[in-house]
Amino acid sequence: MPLAMSRGTRRVAFAATTVALALTVAACSSSDGGTSSDPSASTSGSGSSAFQPEHKGGTLKLVAHAAAGSFDPQVNYTLQYWQLYQSMYDGLLAFKKVDGQQSFTVVPDLAAAMPKVTNGGKTYTFTLRKGISFSNGKALTTDDVVASFQRIFKVSSPTAGTFYNGIVGADACLKKPASCTLEGGVTGDAKANTVTVNLTAADPEFEYKLAVPHASVVPKDSPAKDAGTKPLPTTGPYMAASYDPNRALKLVRNPHFKEWSRQAQPEGYPDAIDYTFGQTVESEVTAVQNGQADWMYDPPPADRLNEIGTKYASQAHVNPLTAFWYATLNVNMAPFNNKLARQAINYAVDRSAVVRLYGGKNLASPACTILPPGFPGHVDSCDYTKGGGKTWTAADLAKAKALVKKSGTAGQEVGIVVQDDDVNKSIGQYLQSLLTQLGYKATLKPLSGNIQFTYIQNTKNKVQLALTSWYQDYPAASDFLNVLLSCASYHPGSDSSINIAGFCDKGIDAKMQTALKTSQTDQAGADKQWGAIDQEIMAESPVVPLINPKLIDFTSKRVGNYQFSKQFYMLFGQLWVK
Confidence band (pLDDT; 50, 70, 90) for 3? Answer: very low
Residue 578 is assigned to a structural domain of this protein: no
| Alpha-carbon gap, residue 489 to 2, rounded angstroms | 14
| Alpha-carbon gap, residue 576 to 476, rounded angstroms | 32
Residue at 379: amino acid letter? V
Residue 467 is assigned to a structural domain of this protein: yes
Give the pLDDT score at 454: 86
Residue at 96: amino acid letter? K
Three-state secondary structure call for residue 348: helix
The predicted model gives 163-181 an average pLDDT of: 96
CA 514 to chain centre: 25
For the chain, the domain total comes to: 1
Contact at 8 Å (CB) between 166 and 124? no
Nearest CA-CA partner of 153 in 138, 166, 139, 141: 166
Mind listing the pLDDT tens digit for each residue in 176-186? 999 999 999 99
% pLDDT > 70, the chain = 91
Angle between helix axes 339-348 and 397-407 (nearest 10 degrees) is 160
Nearest CA-CA partner of 326 in 548, 14, 7: 548
Q: Say if residue 317's pLDDT is above 50.
A: yes
| Alpha-carbon gap, residue 164 to 159, rounded angstroms | 7
Q: Say if residue 13's pLDDT is above 50.
A: no
| Alpha-carbon gap, residue 202 to 183, rounded angstroms | 18
Where would I find the H helices in 311-448? 339-348, 351-358, 397-407, 422-437
Q: What are phi and psi of 170, to 5 degrees?
A: -65, -35
| Alpha-carbon gap, residue 84 to 89, rounded angstroms | 9
Which residues does residue 393 pair with via DSSP β-bridges, in sequence order?
none
Distances (CA, A) of 253 to 55, 83, 257, 258: 15, 17, 8, 11
Give the pLDDT score at 203: 93
% pLDDT > 90, the chain = 78
Mind listing the pLDDT tens digit for each residue in 346-403? 999 999 999 999 888 878 999 999 999 989 999 999 999 999 899 999 999 999 999 9
Q: Say if residue 32's pLDDT is above 70.
A: no
Q: What is the DSSP letter of 50?
A: P
The predicted model gives 27-47 an average pLDDT of: 38
| Alpha-carbon gap, residue 100 to 46, rounded angstroms | 12
**Range with top average pLDDT, 3-7, 442-446, 468-472:** 442-446
Q: Say if residue 4's pLDDT is above 60.
A: no
Contact at 8 Å (CB) between 512 and 478? yes
Residue 479 is assigned to a structural domain of this protein: yes
Task: Check residue 332 and give left, alpha or beta (phi > 0: left; psi -120 to 50: alpha).
Answer: alpha
H-helix or E-strand spanning residue 234: none
Q: Say if residue 27's pLDDT is above 70.
A: no
Q: What is the DSSP string of 50-103?
A: PP-GGG--SEEEEEESS--S---TTT---HHHHHHHTTT---SEEE--SSBGGG
Range name among 162-166, 261-265, 410-414 with the lowest pLDDT average: 162-166
Q: Judging by DSSP bridges, how do beta strands 413-419 and 441-447 pair with one another?
A: parallel
Nearest CA-CA partner of 475 in 224, 129, 204: 204
| Alpha-carbon gap, residue 576 to 559, rounded angstroms | 5
The predicted model gives 37-54 an average pLDDT of: 59
Residue 376 is assigned to a structural domain of this protein: yes
Residue 178 is assigned to a structural domain of this protein: no
| Alpha-carbon gap, residue 543 to 540, rounded angstroms | 9
Give the pLDDT score at 496: 74
Contact at 8 Å (CB) between 571 and 89? no
Residue 511 is assigned to a structural domain of this protein: yes
Three-state secondary structure call for residue 167: strand
Range name among 6-10, 281-285, 456-460 with the lowest pLDDT average: 6-10
Residue 466 is assigned to a structural domain of this protein: yes
Three-state secondary structure call for residue 421: coil
Residue 371 is assigned to a structural domain of this protein: yes
| Alpha-carbon gap, residue 540 to 370, rounded angstroms | 12
Distances (CA, A) of 527 to 516, 541, 550: 10, 21, 24
| Alpha-carbon gap, residue 577 to 55, rounded angstroms | 7
Angle between helix axes 506-518 and 523-540 (nearest 10 degrees) is 160
Full domain range(s) for residue 485 = 323-551
Confidence band (pLDDT; 50, 70, 90) for 48? Answer: low
Burial class (CB in 10 A: 0-12, 13-18, 19+), 187: middle
The predicted model gives 555-565 an average pLDDT of: 97
Confidence band (pLDDT; 50, 70, 90) for 41? Answer: very low
Range name among 169-173, 183-187, 490-494, 499-503 with the lowest pLDDT average: 490-494
Three-state secondary structure call for residue 399: helix
Question: In terms of pLDDT, which residue wins out, 531 or 161?
Answer: 531
| Alpha-carbon gap, residue 308 to 298, rounded angstroms | 14
| Alpha-carbon gap, residue 148 to 154, rounded angstroms | 9
Question: In terms of pLDDT, which residue wins out, 434 or 517?
Answer: 434
Mind listing the pLDDT tens digit for each residue in 56-105? 999 999 999 889 889 999 999 888 999 999 999 999 999 999 998 899 99
| Alpha-carbon gap, residue 515 to 494, rounded angstroms | 27
The predicted model gives 272-297 an average pLDDT of: 96
Average confidence score pLDDT of the chain: 90
Check which CATH number belongs to the domain holding 461 and give it: 3.10.105.10
Nearest CA-CA partner of 400 in 387, 384, 413, 411: 384
Question: In terms of pLDDT, which residue wins out, 39 or 21?
Answer: 39
Angle in degrees, CA 506, 509, 513, rounded to 5: 135
Angle between helix axes 422-437 and 351-358 (nearest 10 degrees) is 160
Q: What is the DSSP letter of 490?
A: -
Confidence band (pLDDT; 50, 70, 90) for 305? Answer: confident
| Alpha-carbon gap, residue 374 to 225, rounded angstroms | 39
Q: Say if residue 18's pLDDT is above 70.
A: no
